[in-house]
Every structure is written in C-alpha cells, then in structure tokens.
Amino acid sequence: LGSVLHVAAHPDDENTQLITYMARGRGYRTAYLSVTRGDGGQNEFGPEFDEKLGVARTQELLAARRLDGGRQFFTRAIDFGFSKTPEETLTFWDRRQVLADVVRIIRYFRPDVIVTRFPIPPGSGGHGHHTASGILAVEAFNLAGDPKAFPEQLTQGLTVWQPKRVLWNGGGAGRGGGATLGGPTVRLDIGGSDPVTGEGFGAIANRSRGQHKTQFGLAAGTG
C-alpha cells in the first residue's frame, strides 16, 4: 500500500501517533530512524549511562515499535548531550559517515515518503541534533537515487532508490507549521481506531511512548 520512513535524532523524538496511524490505520510499511541511540541523555529509571544507557534506550525503542507497528533503524551517530548548532553536531557525528548510513537505510527500506520530525534551516529544532537529523534526511533523500553516491553500497547488494517526497511533521497550527518556512502544507487527521482491536490510535501511541522509561520515568505514557 505504501511505505513511510520517519526520521529524527533520538529515542523519544518520534511521533508515535503518526507511526501508529500509518502502520496500523493505513497499513503502510512504516519505520522510525533514530539517528542516535540516546546514549548521551538522562536516565530517570536507573543508574545506567553512556553505552549502557544506549543499550537500554535501544530496547525501549524496539518495545515501542512492537506496539505501534513500525520498524526501527539507527545510524552510527553517537549522542553527546546538548548541542547548540547543527554544524557542531555534524562535526562530532562525522557528517559523511552518518549521511551514508541514512542513504543505506533508505535504499534498504525503500520508503515512498520520508517524514522528518524537525525542520531544516531556516527553521530550528531547538537542539543541534534535532536540526541535523532533518538536514541529513533531506540530503539523503537527494542522494539515495544517485548511483554515484556511496557506490560501495551498490556492490553490497543494495540498489538505488528515490523516494517520491520528503515532508516535515510540523505539528499543526501554533506549533511551527510549514507555512512558517514559506512552503506548502499537507494536513492529515491521524485520529481514529485500530481496525482490528478497536483501540484508539492515541491510546496505542501513548502506550508506545510509555516505553521510554529511562527518559520520562514510570509516569511515561499515562497521561
């Protein structure tokens, strides 16, 4: 029926209701690409930090996807805490290496549409990692269909793939909608209920988001 790749910087950045709607409501192949594993973040649930926290947050994302119906991907980017600018972020991440990872995931998953969680400049995601994830998604959108881009991937069994469209999940009126950056907008109602279980997409998304216990504690997903 179609395929969608949602892209952001960290575990818990994803729009779980969008994933739920796309995967369980529309029957699309849907995936979330978290550029990092969140190993530079906080831990509200236990004593693990750094690499051990990254392992825990990886498992939280996999648990979330089992609920909302999406698949989960990562790159090799290391989460290093707060960053003021995307330029700083892309220096620490090794821009070319992480861009290659995003292109590889697009060529492997073959999405029709890419949806970024955060805007590219002149917009800002409020965190260098956030904005950088949008920049990399758009760059990869433009390169994934080019056989001259990362040709070593093509010798490893992948083929070029050009998604049809890249969008920014702007969040609606009052939350930095696309009109703020002067671009066209698409409005989509992602409400409704799962056609099999009858459970509302919002409730499923809340349970999915509730898996991020290291980030939000035991109260995650209860509101």
Please give the share of the chain, as a percent, with pLDDT higher than 90. Answer: 72
| Burial of 197 per CB tally in 10 Å (0-12, 13-18, 19+) | exposed
CA separation for the pair 133, 7 (Å, rounded): 7
With tokens 């793939």, the residue in question is 161
What is the predicted pLDDT for the residue at 178? 43
**Would you place residue 171 in the very low, low, confident or very high pLDDT band (cuts 50, 70, 90)?**
low
What is this structure's pTM? 0.90
Answer yes or no: is pLDDT of 174 > 90.
Answer: no
Identify any residues that bridge with 29 across adjacent strands, giving them in sequence order: 3
Q: For 73-118, what is each residue's pLDDT tens digit?
A: 999 999 988 899 999 999 999 999 999 999 999 999 999 999 999 9
**Would you place residue 51 in the very low, low, confident or very high pLDDT band (cuts 50, 70, 90)?**
confident
| Average pLDDT estimate for 46-57 | 78
What is the predicted pLDDT for the residue at 98? 98
CA separation for the pair 133, 128 (Å, rounded): 9
With tokens 């994933």, the residue in question is 19
Q: For 116-157, what is each residue's pLDDT tens digit?
A: 999 999 888 999 999 999 999 999 999 999 999 999 999 999
DSSP assignments along 157-219, one per residue? T------SEEEE---STTS--GGGGT----------B-TTT--BHHHHHHHHHTT-HHHH-TT
Strand ranges of the sheet holding 71-74, from the earlier edge strand across to the other edge? 71-74, 29-34, 3-8, 113-116, 165-168
DSSP state of 21: I
